[in-house]
């Protein structure tokens, strides 16, 4: 089968490798679609910040099952990691910080014709059946959309809240659509790329600004009776624009940003 790997020194290579053999409790999935995440591009072409596995937004058909929970032919979404559910981090709502999280991974990767799902991932809810009508290309958004929903949950977002966001890339675009779907009263977006700014408008942002030439804080105040927004979101990998998010939020508001991952050593 063909699988995509990070090439030494940068870039990617397609390798012909054997189809993984599965053991009790595991399943083998035939990949149907796999999203390419910003972290995949970082691994392949920039600074590797996470382990060198490519492709984790993955959906497919169960090719072989040695688990009582899944049958061959079922359409599934597979999450690439699961948490232990017992450690300090798991018990304190930081599942992705669990030491088991990065160790429980699909093999060899999502950008592969077939991949194996370890028993722990199958048993701990890492595999979900897809509804019949859901297209593969839509289903690959389950993982990124889940990241956005989790962030919104942590900000205690509810319908009627006003939100500012700096960055309107793929993640920011999901934020805008989900926020409007969930009843945000006002969504203001700051973005320096004119293309992304235009996309943000098309996806439903109530106000947009290019912070290089416009006063984003003013835009946020104008949409909220001068107060500033309830929730500010930093949706860029860079931490520098965080100040802009902070300035756009009202007194007593909430801020969401993700800690940049610790850098790992380049694969050798
Ligand atoms: Zn992702
Ligand atoms: Zn844990």
Ligand minimally distant from the alpha carbon of residue 141: 1
Pairing of strands 114-117, 27-35: antiparallel
Q: Which of 171, 170, 174, 214 is nearest to 190 (CA)?
A: 214
Which bound ligand lies closest to the C-alpha atom of 79?
1
Instruction: Measure the CA–CA gap between 39 and 181, rounded to whole angstroms.
Output: 27
- Model pLDDT, residue 268: 46
Quote the tokens at residue 95.
């599942």
Predicted confidence at residue 71, as pLDDT, reads 98
Q: Which residues contact 76 (CB under 8 A, 6 or more apart)?
A: 29, 59, 60, 61, 62, 70, 127, 128, 129, 130
- What are the chain's domains? 2-140 (3.90.180.10), 147-256 (3.40.50.720)
Q: How far is the CA of 140 from the centre of ligand 1 (A)?
A: 9
Starting from the CA of residue 87, give the closest ligand. 2
- Rounded to the nearest angstrom, the distance between the alpha carbon of 178 and the centre of ligand 2 is 28
Per-residue confidence (pLDDT) for residue 36, from 0 to 100: 92
* Mean pLDDT of successive 10-residue stretches along the chain, which has 268 residues: 88 93 98 91 74 88 98 97 95 92 92 97 96 96 94 95 96 95 98 96 97 96 97 90 96 87 50
Q: In the block, which residue shows the tokens 């290089």?
A: 212
Distance 193 CA to ligand 1 centre (A): 22
The closest ligand to the CA of 96 turns out to be 2
Ligand with smallest separation from the Cα of 90: 2
Tokens of 78: 């597979």
Residue-wise burial string across 181-217, b where 16 or more C-beta atoms lie within 10 A, e elsewhere: eeebebbbbbbbeeebbebbeebebbbbbeeeeeebb
Q: CA 48 to CA 267: how far, in whole Å?
A: 9
175-215 tens-digit pLDDT: 999 999 999 999 999 999 999 999 999 999 999 999 999 99
Closest ligand, as measured to the CA of 100: 2
What's the CA-to-centroid distance between 57 and ligand 1, angstroms? 6
pLDDT digits (tens, 9 = 90+) for 30-51: 999 999 988 888 888 876 666 6
Give which of 75, 64, 201 is closest to 138, Cα–Cα. 75
Q: What distance in angstroms lies between residue 87's CA and the mean position of ligand 2's atoms?
A: 4
pTM, whole model, 2 decimals? Answer: 0.86
Return the beta strands (E) in the chain as ranges.
2-6, 12-16, 27-35, 57-65, 75-78, 114-117, 127-129, 162-166, 186-190, 207-209, 229-234, 249-256
Q: What number of CA atoms fall less than 13 Å from residue 178's CA on the CB side?
A: 21
Other beta carbons within 10 angstroms of residue 251's beta carbon come to: 6
- Distance in Å, CA 235 to ligand 2 centroid: 26
């Amino acid at each position: 089968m063909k699988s995509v790997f990070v090439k030494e020194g940068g870039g990617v290579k397609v390798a012909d490798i054997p189809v993984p053999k599965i053991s009790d409790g595991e399943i083998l999935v035939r990949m149907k679609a796999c999203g390419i995440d910003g972290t995949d591009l970082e691994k392949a072409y920039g600074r590797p910040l996470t382990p060198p596995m490519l492709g984790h937004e993955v959906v497919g058909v169960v090719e072989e099952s040695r688990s009582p929970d899944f049958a061959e032919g079922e359409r599934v979404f597979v999450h690439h990691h699961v948490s232990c559910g017992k450690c300090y981090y798991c018990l304190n709502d930081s599942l992705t910080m669990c030491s088991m999280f990065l160790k429980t991974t699909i093999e060899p990767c999502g950008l592969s014709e077939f991949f194996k799902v370890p028993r722990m991932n199958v048993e701990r809810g890492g595999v979900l059946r897809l509804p019949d009508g859901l297209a593969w290309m839509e289903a690959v958004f389950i993982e990124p959309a889940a990241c956005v929903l989790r962030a919104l949950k942590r900000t205690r977002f509810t319908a009627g809240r006003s939100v500012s966001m700096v960055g309107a890339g793929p993640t920011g675009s999901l934020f805008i659509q989900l926020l409007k779907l969930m009843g945000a009263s006002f969504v203001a977006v700051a973005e320096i790329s004119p293309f992304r700014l235009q996309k943000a408008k098309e996806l439903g942002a109530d106000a947009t600004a290019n912070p290089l030439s416009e006063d984003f804080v003013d835009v946020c105040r104008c949409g909220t009776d001068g107060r500033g927004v309830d929730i500010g979101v930093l949706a860029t990998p860079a931490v520098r624009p965080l100040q802009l998010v902070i300035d756009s939020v009202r007194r007593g508001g909430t801020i969401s940003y993700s800690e940049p991952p610790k850098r790992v050593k380049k694969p050798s």
